[in-house]
Amino acid sequence: MNPPAGVDARRGQRLVQIGLVVNALLTVLKLVAGLLGNAYALVADAIESGTDMIGSLVVLSGLRIASRHPDERYPFGYGRAEPLAAATVAALMLGAAIGISIEAISEIRTPHHAPAAWTLAVLAGVIVVKEVMAKRVMSASAESGSMVVKADAWHHRADAITSGAAFVGISIALIGGPGWEAADDWAALVAAGVICVNGGMLLRTAFADLMDRAPEPTLLASVRDAALATAGVRAIEKLKVRRSGTALYVDIHVQADPTLSLHDAHILSGCVKTAIRQRVPAAVGVLIHMEPFEPTGIL
């Protein structure tokens, strides 16, 4: 059996590695600029980028583990490493949001100088870089169906959003003049809220996969249609599909002519399995239960 991760997974790993280097450079740049430019929103952005670095390492580890072949100890493969990694990334995002919020509130209550105007140029560059990274990684996620790669894409997008909030906050502080110095701190607080919402949504999705939530109805319909389109299949009694990383495991009860021999029923089950795998390539495991056709109690 091929592992659930293939060429698309390797592309995802390469993009995560590139993102790790980019995040390291941006973290240093934003932290230095924020401290020298008196812009806490930029410092908060640097903290978020720092969690991105840790998150990227978790994502990379999750992808490498999930791409291993099934073995005797893990006959269903290592795909669950993906939602586990995604849940870890989500927890990091929530932790960063809490830390930024606490510090932003402290800064709001403490009088300080307005941010330097040149920090806006730094933020503009960061927004462009992070949005480009988000789109590339999101594309890789769509091709591979990897949740943890999608988590990394959202990390990049969250960074672009926090940088955008910082840009707005610093701009308000500069335009408003005296009395508006805390605008960038309020922007950091808003950015923390965005990070918190994204982290919560990602955590919920990761937990759903860990709990074997059924995939989307369109995917179930594709599996069912592929089975029903196979010559000799009369009906589908039961259908269960669970996700493990990028792989799908199908458990389906197929009803056929009761007079079929065991040999012919075995051949038909093989045809159904092939049809499902052709229609849904991610279905690396398909378990067929052959049953006599009954006109009632079917899907």
pLDDT digits (tens, 9 = 90+) for 217-268: 899 999 999 999 999 999 998 999 988 877 889 999 999 999 999 999 999 9
Q: What is the pLDDT of residue 9?
A: 57
Residue of 200, 233, 37, 189 whose CA lies nearest to 99: 189
Continuous H helices in the chain: 7-36, 40-66, 81-108, 119-144, 147-176, 183-210, 217-228, 262-279
Q: Which of 90, 87, 85, 67 is nearest to 77 (CA)?
A: 67
For the beta sheet containing 247-256, the strands, ordered from the edge strand earlier in sequence to the opposite edge, are 233-244, 247-256, 283-292
Instruction: Write down the CATH number for the domain with range 217-292.
Output: 3.30.70.1350
Is 48 within 8 Å of 191 (Cβ atoms)?
A: yes
CA–CA distance, 232 with 256 (Å, rounded to integer)? 6
Residue 4 is predicted with a pLDDT of 42
* Cα 103 to Cα 40: distance, rounded to the nearest angstrom: 9
So what's the pLDDT on residue 99? 82
Q: Which residue stretches of the chain have pLDDT < 50?
A: 1-7
How far apart, in whole angstroms, are the C-alpha atoms of residue 13 and residue 24? 17
What's the Cα-to-Cα distance from 279 to each of 84, 223, 273, 276, rounded to whole Å? 28, 7, 10, 5
Residue 106: which residues within 8 A CB-CB, separation 6 or more?
Answer: none
Q: How far apart are the C-alpha atoms of 218 and 203, rounded to whole Å?
A: 23
DSSP assignment, residue 258?
A: T
Question: What residues have CB less than 8 Å from 271, skipping those under 6 apart?
Answer: 230, 231, 232
pLDDT of residue 226: 94
pTM of the predicted protein model:
0.69
- For residue 77, the model assigns a pLDDT of 81
Q: Is the dihedral of CA 268, 270, 273, 274 positive or negative?
A: negative
The string of pLDDT tens digits covering residues 140-160 is: 777 766 767 777 787 777 778
Residue 75 confidence (pLDDT): 83
Angle between helices 40-66 and 183-210 (to 10 degrees): 20
Q: Which residues contact 143 (CB under 8 A, 6 or more apart)?
A: 8, 11
d(CA 199, CA 211): 18
The strand pair at 233-244 and 247-256 is best described as: antiparallel
Segments making up each domain of the chain, as ranges: 7-210, 217-292
Report the pLDDT value the prediction gives residue 234, as an integer from 0 to 100. Answer: 93
Contact 151, 85 (CB under 8 A): yes
Q: How far is CA 203 from CA 96, 256, 285, in A?
A: 14, 42, 26
Question: Helix (H, G, I), strand (E, B), or coil: what is residue 236?
Answer: strand
Q: Is the dihedral of CA 132, 137, 138, 142 positive or negative?
A: positive
CATH number assigned to the domain with residue range 7-210, chosen from the 4 options 2.70.70.10, 1.20.1510.10, 1.10.274.10, 3.30.1490.20: 1.20.1510.10
